[in-house]
Amino acid sequence: MTMNKSTQTAINGLRFMKMHGAGNDFVVIDSRGLAGAVVTPALALALGDRNRGVGFDQLAEIRDGDGADFTLDFWNNDGTRAGACGNATRCVSDYVMAGLGLDAVRLTTSRGGLAAVRLPDGRVSVNMGAPQLDWAEVPLAHALDTLHLPLPGDPAAVGMGNPHCVFFVADAEAIDLPGLGPRFEHDPLYPQRTNVEFASLTGPDRFRMRVWERGAGITLACGSGACATAVAAHLRGLTGRRVTLDLDGGVLEIDWRDDGVWMTGPTAHVFDGWLTPEFLAAHP
């Protein structure tokens, strides 16, 4: 059911949905029909607490679209804004498609216009747009060869609406992700911090990938990170333009086409709930 003004702002609080894509989990708030966005940094931070709030890797707020079916804003669980979230985009697109009776939608994010489609097998694909490969677009602190950063491990930098630092390693399972993730997230080369991916080739055009997300930490999957890894792998001559990635929470398929990087995977709408007026008042 599509949330509208009457169901969203009833006297018993604020309605939300819990969704996940390959284990990458989200709180989703549908603000369509309201005067403006309802999520604030304080609310995102409080909601992201898995003990005192709801808990999520990212929060997605659905707003009315300007020339599109809808607009999406993203937040990390530390209360900061996120530039892109591919798995949340797929999950919300599936929800909106069901509400509109469509198998394809157009949406806008901070990246601009994107497209999503539901496949016959029920999975959802989203075009994440063209990768950002120039150092200033990623962005990096100064001009560098983005395919070979001067950091231990020889990572690549790719922008997908948010920055990524991609390492190709012999065994992704053996990586100290809790130790290395925050170290590279805050490296001075990345003035806006960065997501960090570690990927090991397991077969033709297939990787095992683990991820540390800026503002969220270790997550079971990262759609934009999967896209960045596939792009970097192809540019380094490790794969073709279609790549399968096995993440902690499931499988994502990436296809770098002429019109953008398409990411395909499962979606799940887990439950709906209400935030109480008391909780909202405490986190304006």
**Residues carrying an active site annotation:** 85, 222
CA atoms within 13 A on the CB side of 107: 35
* DSSP-H helix ranges across 107-222: 177-185
Q: What is the DSSP string of 189-216?
A: T-TT--EEEEEEEEETTEEEEEEEETTT
Nearest CA-CA partner of 24 in 89, 69, 68 = 89
Please state whether 20 falls in left (phi above 0), alpha (psi between -120 and 50) or beta: beta
* Secondary structure letter of residue 99 according to DSSP: H
Could you tell me if 140 and 60 are in contact, meaning their C-beta atoms sit under 8 angstroms apart? no
